[in-house]
Structure 1
Amino acid sequence: MSDWKLIYTDLKKEQEGLRESLCALGNGYFATRGAAEESEADGVHYPGTYLAGGYNRLKSELAGKTIENEDLVNWPNWLPLSFRLENDKNWFRLETKQVLSYRQELDLSEGLFRREMHVRDEKNRETRILSTRMVSMDNPHLAAIRWEFEPVNWSGTVMIRSAIDGSVKNEGVKRYQALNSQHLKIIEQGETDDVIYLLVQSNQSRIYMAQAARCQVFFKNKSVATKRESLQEEGKISERLSFHVSQGKTVKIEKIVVLSTSKDRATSDPLDNALEVLCDEPDFSTLQARHSRAWKRLWKQFGISLKSRGNSQFLLRLHIFHILQTSSVHTIGRDVGIPARGWHGEAYRGHIFWDELFIFPLLNYRLPDLTRSLLLYRYYRLRAAKKLAAKEGFAGVMFPWQSGSSGREESQVMHLNPRSGKWVPDNTYLQRHVNLAIAYNIWQYYEVTGDMNFMKYYGVEMLLEIARFFAGITTWSESKQRYEIRKVVGPDEFHTAYPESNEPGIDNNAYTNVVTSWLFSHALKAFDIIDTSRQETLKQKLQVDDREFRKWEEISKKLFVPFMEEGIIAQFEGYEQLREFDWEGYRKRYPDIKRLDRILDAEGDSVNDYKAAKQADVLMLFYLFSSEELVDLFQNMEYEFNPEWIPENIKYYVSRTSDGSTLSRVVRSWVEARSDRECAWSCFREAVVSDFEDIQGGTTPEGIHLGSMAGTVDIIQRCFTGLEVRDNILWINPCFPNEISSFSMQINYRGTWLFLDFSGTQCRIELKDETDSPIKIKFRDQFFEISGKTTKVVS
C-alpha cells in the first residue's frame, strides 16, 4: 500500500471476499462490491450491488415458526463483462488461465478500482487487460468500466460479452442461507439503439430499479465497427460484440451504466429516465474527469495529514473513503440512514443501529448538512417509534434497536449460532440505549453547528419525546428510595438475562441510567434555548407541561447507579454476584474467544452466568463524557464520583471483555488515551486494522464495520487532540501518543472552516473564512478569541 492506494499483486481465493468488501465502490446512492467483472456468485466471488435504503421483507419458515426479516436487497449485477477468442467455447475467467502477472489497485484519491491482468491460454495466446472501474461521485446514477485490451502475441477475432444480471439472490451471508432470499421480480428486459436494459421490482417493498448499459469499442479514440447481437435469458439480458484485433494494438472497451429507481426525486418512470440519461452521457474519460474532481472536493473537506509509525495514514484514508461511499453529498435529502456495515454487503441486513454515535462526530465537523439529513431519517420515523413505545405501554417514542425502511423494530427474533448450528432466541432488541445515542447525537450536532433551526423544528421535539419514553420506563423503588430502569440490555450485548431466569433483560444498567439522567437535563436545556412561540407550539402538540418537566428533573437526580467495591461502577444490578470467567483456560482451548456467547452456548453453558462482556459497556461513560462532565453528572444524581476512580474502572472491565465487537477497541483506545498513551496507541492500531486484516475472521467480507472505521478517525480527530465543544467554547487539549509526530486537519465549526496543525507541543490555528462573531477557543489553560482570516500559534 501507499498513502493513497491499496494494492494486491497476487490471487488468493480465501481473501477474495475480503478484497471485494475493501475494494467496493459507492457514492452514497448505491454501492457495488469489488468483484471481478467476469465473476459470478460461486463461493469464492460474490458480486453485489446495494441501493441506499433499498430494503425488502420476506417471510421464512424456521424452527417451526414463520418469521419475517427485512433485508438490504442485492440488486441486479451490472458488472458482467467478459471475452472469448475465436474458436474458443468458454468465456474468460481468470481462474482458468495461466496468470503471468496480476495487480489489483484501489485508488482512494480518485475513487477508482483497477485490475491489471496478463494471461496465457492453452494455445499460448497472451492477452493483457487493464480494467478501470468507477461508481460516479459526480452523478450518483452513473457507473462505468473501461477495459484496455491488448493481444500481446496474436491477432484475430474477439467477442466481448456485456450483461445485466437480475437473477441474483441474497446469498452473501452463510448464516442467513436458510432464509428466503428471492427479493426481485423481473418486470421488463430488452435492448434498444445498442443499449441493453433491465427493469426489476422488489417483491414486497415494490421498489422499481432500472439499469441500462451501453458497451462500445474504441481504437485510438475512434469507434470500432462491431458485429452486435443481444441474448435474453430469464432475468438476464446480454449483448455480444465481435471485432478484429491486431497483435500489440490496444483497444478500449467501455461499458457505461445508469441506475434509476422509483425512490428517486423528479422521476416518473425509472426505465425511461435511465435510457434518457444514458443517451446524454459522454465517454469514459470525460466521466472519470468529473468523478475525480468530485472526489478532490471531498478530500479537501475530509483530508487529514498524519505522520506516525506504521501505515495509519493510509488506513485512516481508507476508512474515510468507505464512510463517504456509504454517505456522501448524494445522501443529503434522501430518506436513508447510515447502516452499521455500509452498503458493502448483506451482514446485519443493512440495518441502522447505534453506530451513528461513532460516525456522526466525523461528519459534524466536515459535512454537517449530511448529519442533519441522517438525523432527519430518525425524525421521519417518530410515528413508528411512538407506536413501538405505545405497544409496550409507554408514552413518548422508542426507536428500534435495528431500523430499516419504515422505522419499525427489525431486530431478528432468532439468530443462528454457527458453532452449534442451532437457532436461538435473540433478545438484543432490548437495547433501549439506542434512543439515548440518538439524543446524544442531536445535542452534539447542535453544539458543533449551532443549527438553531434544526433544534427548533426537529431536535427538541425528538429530545422531549425520548425523555418522555425514559420517564415512562423508570419505576420508583421504595427500598432504594431511587428510580430504576429494569428489563433492558446494555451496550455489552452478552448479558441479555439473569442466570437461570426465563425473563429477558437486566436491571439498572449503569450506562443506561447515567445517560438517561444526562438526557433529562439536556432535553430541558434544549427546550429552554428555543423561542417562546415554538415552546408553546410543542407543549400543545406533545401535550407536555411544566409538571412533567419537574418530574423529569426529579428522576434525573434520583436514578439508581449500582456500585461494587470502592469506586467500581457495577455494569448492572447484581453483576457482582456473577461468576468470574476462566479467561486463561478458554484462550488455551480456543484460538479466538471474541464470540464467547456462541462458544458457551455450543457447550450448553451461558455467558449470562459470568462477568464477561462482548464490548465496552461501563467504559462507554468515559468515552462519551469527560471526567469533568461525569463528576457533574454524578453530583446531579447525588452520588460521589472521583475522577481518580476512572483508571481502576477501566482496568476492571478491560480484563473482563472479549472484544467481540470492532467498536470495543475504539472505546478502549479512547478511554486509555489520557492515562496510558502506550496502551491507547496499541488499541488504536488494533482498531485501525480490524477490517483491513479481517481480525474477526470472516466478518468483513459480509460488509465493512462503519462505526469502527469512523471511530478510528475520530480518535485522531477528537480524542488525541482533545477537541470538544462545551458552553459555546471550542476546547483543544492535545495529548498525542509518542508514535505520532504531527497531525493536521480542517474542521468546520459553526459554519467557519479552521485549519488545525499540531506539531510537537504547538498548535497552529488558521481561520479560513471571515466570521460574523469571534470564535471562543480554550487551548489547554489558555482562553482566547479569534476572528477574521487569522492565524494563531499556541503551545
Structure 2
Amino acid sequence: MIEYKGLSALDDGWVIAETAFDARFLGKFETIFCQGNGYLGLRAATEESYPSEKRNLFVAGSFNRFANQEVTELPNAADMVQLEIRLNGKRFHLEKGIIHSYRRELDLRQGEIRRDILWEDEQGDLFKMSFLRFVSLHDRHLMGMRVEITPLSNTAEISICSGINGQKTNSGAQHFVEGERRVFDKELLQLTATTTESKIEFVHTCARRIYERGVRLITAPAPSMDRRSVSLTYKLKAEVGKCITLDKVASVHTSLDKEWSEQGTVNHALQDTAREYLNKAAEKGFDRLLNENEQAWKSVWAKTNIEIKSSDSFDQLAIRFAQYHLLLMTPAHDSRFSVGAKGLTGEGYKGHVFWDTEIFILPYFLYMNPQTARKLVEYRYHTLNGARTKARDNGYRGAMYPWESAATGEEETPEWGPVDIVTGKPTFIWTGKIEQHITADVAYGVWHYYQATGDQEYMDRYGYEIIFETATFWASRLEWSDKEQKYHICDVIGPDEYKEHVSNNAFTNYMAYWNMTKAIECSRKLMQAQSDVYLTLESKLALTERLKEWEDKSKQIYLPQPDMHSFIIPQDDTYLNKQIIDLKKYRDQEQVASILADYSMTQLSEIQVSKQADILVLFYLLEDWFSKETKAANWHYYEPKTLHDSSLSLSTHSMLASDVNELELAYDMFAKAARIDLGTNMHSCDEGIHSASIGGIWKTAIMGFGGVRSWEGSLRLNSKLPQAWERLSFPLAWQGERLQVTVTRSKLEVERLTSGFGELTLLIHGREYVLRDRIVTDMKEAERSE
C-alpha cells in the first residue's frame, strides 16, 4: 500500500509511493503527498472525485472568521485540480472497473506527484492513464498538471471537464462571497471571491491546452458556469494507441499579497495582472514550467541535503521528507505570516500558530536557512500588539502571547473541544486561557535566533522590545506567597496538557525566570551603551522602572529544585503525590489518546500520567542549568509515565535520551517519531501533517545524534551515532558562516564552506577548537573522555 522506494535504485531515499488504490486511505496520501511552496499549500486529492476526499488549497496568512462566535481559520480556496473524465460516456472512477496496475509517487527531489494507472472499464475497454502535478517552487503563485489518456483496446470517446470550483468549504463553513466568473479566449478561466470578514480578494486563474501525440489540437471546449464555479469540457475521439494530453496551469493571487496589500483597493487591477501573468506562463509551455520548478528544487537540495548511512534506509527518506515539508509549510516570502500546526496540508487547528514554531520548527531554519528564520521571528513582532491586547484584557501588563495565533496576534484558541467521556458534554479548552509558557517560548525563540545569527539589526528593531514586553508580563503575572515568601505562578497548564490548573509548573516557572533575567541582561547592556536603541526603548517602555521590578521579583521566583537524593524535580506542586496506575495498555496503543476513552480531563489531572514531554524540554532549552545526574534521573522517572499522545513528545525524549547516553532508546524514539506521519498507520495524519513532529525529526537527527547545540553564542557539537548509523553528514549555518559536519564512528569532521574572515571557535565534545578551514576529531577519544 505504501512503499518507501522508487522504481530505480537511484530513487531510494527520495521517493514515497502508493502502490494500490483504497478510498479508505485517501486522507493519508492527501497529507503526506501535499505540495506547496510556503505561499500555496495544495492537498494531494486525486484528480477524480471520491466521497471521503478533502480538497484543500490554502494561501498562507489569509485568515477569515466565518461567524462572530468562531475563531479565524485559513479559508479553503477554490479547487482547480479536480477533473471529471468520461470514457465512452462513463465517469472514470477507480471503485469501478478493474485496476490492472496502479502507482502514485511523490518525488522529493522535485516536489512532483506522478500517478500511472492501467484500468479496465466495466465494458472491458482498457486505458493507460498518467497524471503529473507540481506546485512551483520557482514561482509561488503557479501550479501545473498534466493528464495523459491512451485507449489500448478500442477507439474511445474521451470527455474531460476541468475548471475552477469555488464551492469548497471548511467543514461546511463557506468563507467567501462570490465574485466574478469569466471565460477568456475560449481556454482561459478566471474566478474571483472575497473572504466574508477579512475582505481578502482571491483571484483564481487557469489555462489549458489539449494535444494528441504531442500536437496541439485546435478545438473549442464547451464552457459552463454554475454558482461559484466555471469550467470547460473537451470532447474528442481517440484511436487505439494514440495519447491524448491535457496540460493545465493555474495561479492564485490575493489582495493580501504584499505588492497589493499596500495599495488598498485593487478593483480589477489584480484580476488583469493575474490574467496577464498566467497567459505568459502558459506561453512558456508546461515542460518549461516543470523544468523551472525542478531547477529550483535542485538548488534547494544542493544547499540543504542531509546524508544518513543507516542499516534502515527509511531513516534517509524520513529526514528528507521532513525537510520537504518544512519548506512547504513555511512562508519564507513574508514575515507577516508564520507556520501553522498542520502547515498548509489540512484544516486541522485552523492554520493557527503555536509554540511549535519557536521550539520545534525555528531551529531547522536557524541552522539551515537563517534568512527564513528571521521571517519567523519577525512575525512575533508584527503580532506584538495583539499580545499586548491579550495581556491587558486579562489584567496583566506587557505582552501575553496567545496559545493559538493567526493574523493579528490576538487569542484564537476555540473554547470547546471533544466530548467529555464522563459528562457527555463538549470539553472546555483551557489552553487559550492558562497555557501561558508560550510567552516565554517566543522570547526564547528571539534570543536563540540572535545567538545563532548575530543579527544585531533584528534585535535593535524588534527583538529587545519583545523580550522586555514578555518579561513585563511575567512580572505582572507572579503571585506572592506569604507562607513561602516566594513568587509563585498558579493555575496554569504546562507543556503536559493532561495536567490542567496546576501551580508552579517547573517548565513555566523556569522559563519565566529565564525571560526576566534575560530582560535584565539586555537592558543593562543597552543602558551601558546609551545608544539610540536604548533611548528609544526607554522613552517607549520606561526601562529604568521596569528593570528595578524585574530585578526585585526575579530573585524571589520559586524554582522547583532537584531532590538531593533522587534528583527528581517535581513537574508541578502536586504531580508527585498523584495516583499511580498501570499505563501499559495506553503506552502500547495503536491510536494516540486512547486514555481519553476511559478518563476525563479532570480525572487525568489526578493521575501521574503525562501527555508529552514537559519538564524534560527544560533540559534541552536551558541545558547548562541542570546536571547530567538531574537530566538522567528525570528522564527515567517521567518517560515511563508519558503516553506520547502529542506528536511533539517523541523527538524531545529522543534528544534527551542521547544526552543521557541511552542511544538505542534514542534511536527507537527517532524511528517512531519519523513514522508519525510517514509510517504505515493509514489514518495518523488525515487532518494534516504534524508540523512540530516534522521539525522534531530534524532536531532528533541533527541536534540529538549530531549533537548540535548553542548556548549564549557558543556553538557546540557533541555527536553520538546510534548503532544503526555509520555516517551522518549535514550542512550548518552559524553566525554568517556555512559549515559541513560529517560524523562517522571513527571521526567528526567540520569543514568551513565559506571564506569567512577570522577564526571560528567551536566546542566539540567539551573541548575548545578554533576552526580555520577544517577540524577532524577522534570519536573514540571523545567517547573515552566522557
- For the criterion TM > 0.5, the same-fold answer is yes
Partners of 1:156 and 1:599 in 2: CA distance: 57
Q: What is residue 514 of structure 1 aligned with on the other side?
A: 510
- Compute the RMSD of aligned alpha carbons: 2.0
Q: Residues 712 and 300 of structure 1: is their aligned pair in 2 closer, same or farther, counting only changes over 3 Å?
A: same
Q: How does 1:474-489 map to 2 (within 5 A)?
A: 474-489=478-493
1:244 aligns with 2:219: no
1:239 CA displacement: 0.4
Q: What is residue 617 of structure 1 aligned with on the other side?
A: 614
Q: Residues 584 and 362 of structure 1: is their aligned pair in 2 closer, same or farther, counting only changes over 3 Å?
A: closer
Q: How does 1:530-569 map to 2 (within 5 A)?
A: 530=526, 531-533=529-531, 534-545=533-544, 547-562=545-560, 566-569=566-569
Q: What is residue 794 of structure 1 aligned with on the other side?
A: 777
1:258 aligns with 2:251: yes
Tell me the secondary structure at the aligned position of residue 92 of structure 2: coil
Q: What is residue 57 of structure 1 aligned with on the other side?
A: 65
Q: What is residue 32 of structure 2 aligned with on the other side?
A: 22
Partners of 1:196 and 1:249 in 2: CA distance: 28
Write the deviation string for residues 273-328 of structure 1: whole angstroms up to 9, x where unpaired. Answer: 22111110121110011001111111122210001132110011111101101115
1:389 CA displacement: 0.4
Q: What is residue 577 of structure 1 aligned with on the other side?
A: 577
Q: How does 1:32-71 map to 2 (within 5 A)?
A: 32-39=42-49, 42-43=51-52, 45-59=53-67, 67-71=69-73
Partners of 1:694 and 1:445 in 2: CA distance: 36
Partners of 1:348 and 1:625 in 2: CA distance: 29
Tell me the secondary structure at the aligned position of residue 84 of structure 1: strand
Partners of 2:291 and 2:584 in 1: CA distance: 56
Partners of 2:87 and 2:631 in 1: CA distance: 68
Q: What is residue 150 of structure 1 aligned with on the other side?
A: 150
Tell me the secondary structure at the aligned position of residue 227 of structure 1: coil
Q: Residues 94 and 507 of structure 1: is their aligned pair in 2 closer, same or farther, counting only changes over 3 Å?
A: same
Q: What is residue 77 of structure 1 aligned with on the other side?
A: 79
Partners of 1:758 and 1:148 in 2: CA distance: 46
1:581 CA displacement: 2.6
Mean CA deviation greater in 91-100 or 350-359 = 91-100
CA contact (8 A) 1:506 1:573 kept: yes
Q: How does 1:278-427 map to 2 (within 5 A)?
A: 278-281=278-281, 282-310=284-312, 311-327=314-330, 331-356=332-357, 357-417=359-419, 422-427=425-430
Q: How does 1:625-774 map to 2 (within 5 A)?
A: 625-626=622-623, 629-631=624-626, 642-675=627-660, 676-693=662-679, 698-774=683-759
Partners of 2:193 and 2:295 in 1: CA distance: 32
- Which letter maps to 2:293? H
Tell me the secondary structure at the aligned position of residue 664 of structure 2: helix
CA contact (8 A) 1:84 1:158 kept: yes
- Which letter maps to 1:51? V
Partners of 1:532 and 1:689 in 2: CA distance: 52
1:727 CA displacement: 4.3
Tell me the secondary structure at the aligned position of residue 467 of structure 1: helix
1:723 CA displacement: 1.5
Partners of 1:411 and 1:278 in 2: CA distance: 38
- Which letter maps to 2:606? D
Mean CA deviation greater in 389-398 or 758-767 = 758-767
- Which letter maps to 2:485? Q
Mean CA deviation greater in 401-410 or 727-736 = 727-736
Tell me the secondary structure at the aligned position of residue 131 of structure 2: strand
Q: What is residue 92 of structure 2 aligned with on the other side?
A: 92
Q: Residues 587 and 369 of structure 1: is their aligned pair in 2 closer, same or farther, counting only changes over 3 Å?
A: closer
1:563 CA displacement: 5.3
Q: How does 1:591-602 map to 2 (within 5 A)?
A: 592=591, 594-597=593-596, 599-601=598-600
2:768 to 783, 787, 792: 783
1:755 CA displacement: 1.1
1:488 CA displacement: 1.4
Write the deviation string for residues 112-147 of structure 1: whole angstroms up to 9, x where unpaired. Answer: 011111111122221111100000000000000011
2:494 to 487, 490, 494: 490
1:584 CA displacement: 4.1
1:592 CA displacement: 4.7
Write the deviation string for residues 456-515 of structure 1: whole angstroms up to 9, x where unpaired. Answer: 11001100000010011012222112111112110001111xxxxxxxx22111111111
1:39 CA displacement: 1.4
CA contact (8 A) 2:210 2:247 kept: yes
Q: Residues 96 and 593 of structure 1: is their aligned pair in 2 closer, same or farther, counting only changes over 3 Å?
A: closer
CA contact (8 A) 1:73 1:170 kept: yes
Partners of 1:584 and 1:369 in 2: CA distance: 45
Q: Residues 231 and 385 of structure 1: is their aligned pair in 2 closer, same or farther, counting only changes over 3 Å?
A: same
Q: What is residue 189 of structure 2 aligned with on the other side?
A: 196
- Equivalent pairs, count: 748
CA contact (8 A) 1:18 1:694 kept: no
1:434 to 434, 438, 461: 438
1:570 CA displacement: 1.0
CA contact (8 A) 2:562 2:630 kept: no
Q: What is residue 141 of structure 2 aligned with on the other side?
A: 141
1:36 CA displacement: 0.5
CA contact (8 A) 2:72 2:406 kept: yes
Partners of 2:237 and 2:114 in 1: CA distance: 25
1:526 to 513, 518, 522: 522
1:419 CA displacement: 6.0
Partners of 2:270 and 2:49 in 1: CA distance: 27
- Which letter maps to 1:617? D
Write the deviation string for residues 712-770 of structure 1: whole angstroms up to 9, x where unpaired. Answer: 11111122222122343322121221211101011111121111111123122211111
CA contact (8 A) 1:728 1:776 kept: no
Q: Residues 528 and 288 of structure 1: is their aligned pair in 2 closer, same or farther, counting only changes over 3 Å?
A: farther
CA contact (8 A) 2:144 2:250 kept: yes
Q: How does 1:172-251 map to 2 (within 5 A)?
A: 181-193=173-185, 194-251=187-244
CA contact (8 A) 2:39 2:333 kept: no
Q: Residues 181 and 694 of structure 1: is their aligned pair in 2 closer, same or farther, counting only changes over 3 Å?
A: farther
- Which letter maps to 2:547? F
1:618 CA displacement: 1.2
Mean CA deviation greater in 416-425 or 456-465 = 416-425
Partners of 2:594 and 2:443 in 1: CA distance: 29
1:446 to 430, 450, 453: 450
Q: Residues 368 and 564 of structure 1: is their aligned pair in 2 closer, same or farther, counting only changes over 3 Å?
A: closer
CA contact (8 A) 2:132 2:147 kept: yes
1:692 CA displacement: 1.3
CA contact (8 A) 1:109 1:299 kept: yes
1:516 CA displacement: 1.5
Partners of 1:447 and 1:593 in 2: CA distance: 36
- Which letter maps to 1:134? F
Tell me the secondary structure at the aligned position of residue 605 of structure 2: helix
Tell me the secondary structure at the aligned position of residue 317 of structure 2: helix
Q: Residues 529 and 750 of structure 1: is their aligned pair in 2 closer, same or farther, counting only changes over 3 Å?
A: farther
1:564 CA displacement: 7.9
Mean CA deviation greater in 768-777 or 390-399 = 768-777
1:125 aligns with 2:138: no
- Which letter maps to 2:521? K
Mean CA deviation greater in 276-285 or 216-225 = 216-225
1:529 CA displacement: 4.8
Tell me the secondary structure at the aligned position of residue 249 of structure 1: coil
1:601 CA displacement: 2.2
